[in-house]
Amino acid sequence: MNIGILGLGTVGGGVVNVLNKNQSEIARRSGASIQVTHAAVRDINQDRICPTDDLQLTQDPFEIVNNTNIDIVLELMGGTGLAKELVETAIKNGKHVITANKALIATHGNELLALAKDNNVHLLFEAAVAGGIPILKSLEQGLSANKIEMLAGIINGTGNFILTEMRDKGRDFADVLKEAQALGYAEADPTFDVEGIDAAHKLAILASIAFGCELQFDKVSTEGISKIEGEDVTFATELGYSIKHLGIAKQIDGKMQMRVHPTLIPKTRLLANVDGVMNAVLVKGNAVGPTLYYGAGAGDEATASAVIADLVDIIKGTVSDDILGWQSFETMPHQTVDEIESIFYLRLLATDKPGVLADITTVFAKHNISVEAVIQKQIDAQNNAHIAIITNQVKTGEINAAVNEIQKNDFIQETVKIIHVETLD
């Protein structure tokens, strides 16, 4: 099998290295000799993390997708413009395509998968979701006997690193973000990571495999971690929780919900103890119950592991013709944000005077909200206090309406913080 790579950076170089390092083992499992023969790069003279003596390098990526001697194309360059055009061209030329490009699959996957089916080739993307964790294969194959009820994942290592440092070392968000950028975990523009867009891309892919629906990135409710403050981390710890940035997908009463947001998780849950840049996905099936998949969510060889696993599947002919299960899918409506039920954590900065808690609970009662836990701490000589509250399970629309009403009181000193709480039962 002759392989052409689009992009020979971190992941592309990792693929070459892993193929070289584990050549005999991969050949044993695939039954074929796999050889990377060509690679498209931006600059031929740039130093690489992999050997290139046996590769024909080009700065024209169309030489790869139009080369009749190449059987499979690995799209590892990123982006959704040129990458989409190249993938389309490769598919139309009858080539299988493997990609690690979550943005491309989340936003254009439906049409690209349909095009691949029309041209009798495969488009695979295990590496697009959680690096080296084989979560898509687990959903599609290992859990195929189950109706998936829920999945919840830490699927962005940058955000997880930041929240871990804030919890363990008492650092603030901006300080840890600078370190994440210096370490190469976060880009110079970290928006995709810290505002949840990267996780939302991945969640859309996970949900499509888990629930047999079309990719629906535009239906993911998305919130980042940039507004998480040290007080929230401290209160969460005292209340028995850890804050994680989760992607969550569920089916509730025949409706889908997909959401990415900061979440308080009980410290006793395994997912709450996934720290640093590691990823993990919790999947609950109606037969097997909860299962947890943990590992490196990024990195050259970890991501290469997932790319090569797709490669082996294509060579062995073990790929489904309908990877998303669309043929048996019945269109489900989506829950609106206001319909989503959750437990909530609220943090209020309020003037500490008699009647404040009574006024707050009166508003809660109007919206059928009860209080499960509360902590109050005096913070300054001006008689201001932080009040942290854990509510019962309530619709998001009700909690927002209650907070908007509370916010109008003159004893509230700043915007009320609202964070979801998930018990993951």
Which positions are annotated as active-site residues?
A: 202
Cα-flanking dihedrals φ and ψ of residue 147, to 5°? -85, 120
List all residues 6 or more positions away from 424 whose beta carbon is below 8 Å from its beta carbon: 152, 265, 266, 269, 271, 282, 290
- 325 — alpha (psi -120 to 50), left (phi > 0) or beta? left
244 and 265 Cβ atoms separated by less than 8 Å: yes
E strand or H helix at 30: helix 23-30
Cα-flanking dihedrals φ and ψ of residue 39, to 5°? -150, 140
Pure H helices in 259-410: 300-316, 356-366, 396-407
Classify residue 260 as exposed, middle or buried by CB count within 10 Å of its CB (0-12, 13-18, 19+): buried
E strand or H helix at 200: helix 197-211
- CA 61/CA 86 separation, integer angstroms: 8
List the structure tokens of 172.
């603030």
The whole-angstrom distance between residue 126's C-alpha and the CA centroid of its chain comes to: 13
> Which is nearest to 81 in space by CA: 98, 66, 61?
61
Within 10 angstroms of residue 83's Cβ, the number of other Cβ atoms is 21
Residue count of the chain, please give it.
425
Q: Interior CA angle at 356 toward 352 and 360, to 5°?
A: 140
Type of residue found at 400: N
- CA 391/CA 403 separation, integer angstroms: 12
